[in-house]
């Protein structure tokens, strides 16, 4: 499969914003990548550091249904692309909800965003990958392919693998639903069956990481035996 139509920008505020602003006119599956982002953002209102040589890209998806599941679709595509390019799949793992770890340290993140009803079912999935650089001094440690001693593809080289992989997993999701996505995601995830803590702001429940619910929530078995679904937040090994 070849890379579908994409736009390559030298500089932009945020590739997510660029695509959201054009969601009505661009087709489903259109990608945009940028060499620089001046206002890149991550989850939970964090800034996403600009790093020339890193991958900063977004894809437009026009789909109906439980589209929040598409972050797992994107994670599978990203895992497959990086595992294939590096030849070292065992060093990459997926972490709930939207992170990709390299040797147990975050090297990529995914941000799903959509606008109001004006753009119908349009959704933008933004992906940032630390290929050549990673930020220092972040709240949680970060790494890059370069820091881990792996070959560093150019961003467009990653897109060449990522875009067809995303199309593949997205077609499976549209055809077969979330079940095969959930199973594939869990196979590549870190910490299944181990003790974790969820940081939810006001509370920090602890328990065993038991799997994913139908809506993508993390399932935690609490010490009293009950199951709790975590819909948003961050989880860490205890």
Footprint on this chain of ligand BTN (rule: CB under 6 A): 14-16, 37, 40-43, 46, 48, 56-58, 98-99, 109-111, 126-128
State how far the Cα of 142 lies from the Cα of 129, in Å rounded to an integer. Answer: 11
Q: What's the sign of the alpha-carbon dihedral 33, 38, 41, 46?
A: positive
Minimum CB–partner distance for residue 4 and ligand BTN (Å): 17
Closest listed residue to residue 57, CA positions, set 30, 28, 27, 24: 30
Minimum CB–partner distance for residue 222 and ligand BTN (Å): 27
Minimum CB–partner distance for residue 134 and ligand BTN (Å): 12
State how far the Cα of 221 lies from the Cα of 48, in Å rounded to an integer. Answer: 32
Nearer to ligand BTN, 97 or 207 (CB): 97
> What phi and psi, each to the nearest 5 degrees, are found at residue 162?
-70, -45
Nearer to ligand BTN, 119 or 172 (CB): 119
For tokens 């598409």, name the residue: 70
> What phi and psi, each to the nearest 5 degrees, are found at residue 135?
-75, 145
* CA distance to 29, 106, 150, 172, per residue, from 144 (Å): 27, 8, 9, 30
> What phi and psi, each to the nearest 5 degrees, are found at residue 201?
90, -95
Minimum CB–partner distance for residue 226 and ligand BTN (Å): 30
Q: Which residues contact 75 (CB under 8 A, 6 or more apart)?
A: 94, 98, 100, 110, 185
Closest residue to ligand BTN in the complex (CB): 109
Nearer to ligand BTN, 85 or 107 (CB): 107
Nearer to ligand BTN, 130 or 208 (CB): 130
Minimum CB–partner distance for residue 49 and ligand BTN (Å): 9
Nearer to ligand BTN, 12 or 208 (CB): 12
Minimum CB–partner distance for residue 114 and ligand BTN (Å): 14
Beta strand 6-12 with 31-37: parallel, antiparallel or unpaired? parallel
Minimum CB–partner distance for residue 42 and ligand BTN (Å): 3
Nearer to ligand BTN, 58 or 86 (CB): 58
Residue 44 burial (CB count, 10 A)? 9
Whether the Cβ atoms of residue 32 and residue 26 lie closer than 8 Å to each other: no
Nearer to ligand BTN, 36 or 195 (CB): 36
């Amino acid at each position: 499969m070849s890379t579908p139509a994409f736009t390559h920008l030298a500089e932009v505020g945020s590739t997510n914003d660029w695509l959201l602003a054009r969601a009505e006119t661009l087709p489903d599956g259109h990608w945009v990548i940028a060499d620089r982002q001046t206002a890149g953002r991550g989850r939970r209102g964090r800034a996403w550091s600009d790093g020339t040589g890193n991958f900063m890209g977004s894809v437009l998806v026009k789909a109906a249904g439980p589209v929040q599941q598409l972050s797992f679709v994107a994670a599978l595509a990203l895992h497959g692309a990086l595992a294939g390019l590096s030849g070292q799949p065992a060093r990459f793992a997926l972490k709930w909800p939207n992170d990709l770890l390299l040797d147990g340290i975050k090297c990529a993140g995914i941000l799903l965003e959509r606008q109001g009803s004006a753009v119908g079912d349009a959704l933008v999935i933004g992906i940032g990958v630390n290929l050549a650089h990673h930020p220092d001094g972040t709240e949680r440690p970060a790494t890059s392919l370069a820091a881990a001693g792996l070959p560093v593809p150019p961003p467009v080289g990653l897109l060449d693998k990522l875009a067809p992989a995303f199309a593949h997993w997205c077609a499976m999701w549209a055809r077969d639903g979330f079940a095969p996505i959930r199973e594939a995601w869990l196979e590549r995830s870190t910490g299944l069956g181990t003790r974790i803590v969820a940081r939810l702001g006001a509370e920090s429940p602890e328990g065993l990481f038991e799997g994913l619910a139908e809506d993508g929530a993390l399932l935690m078995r609490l010490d009293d035996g009950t199951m709790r679904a975590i819909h948003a937040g961050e989880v860490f090994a205890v």
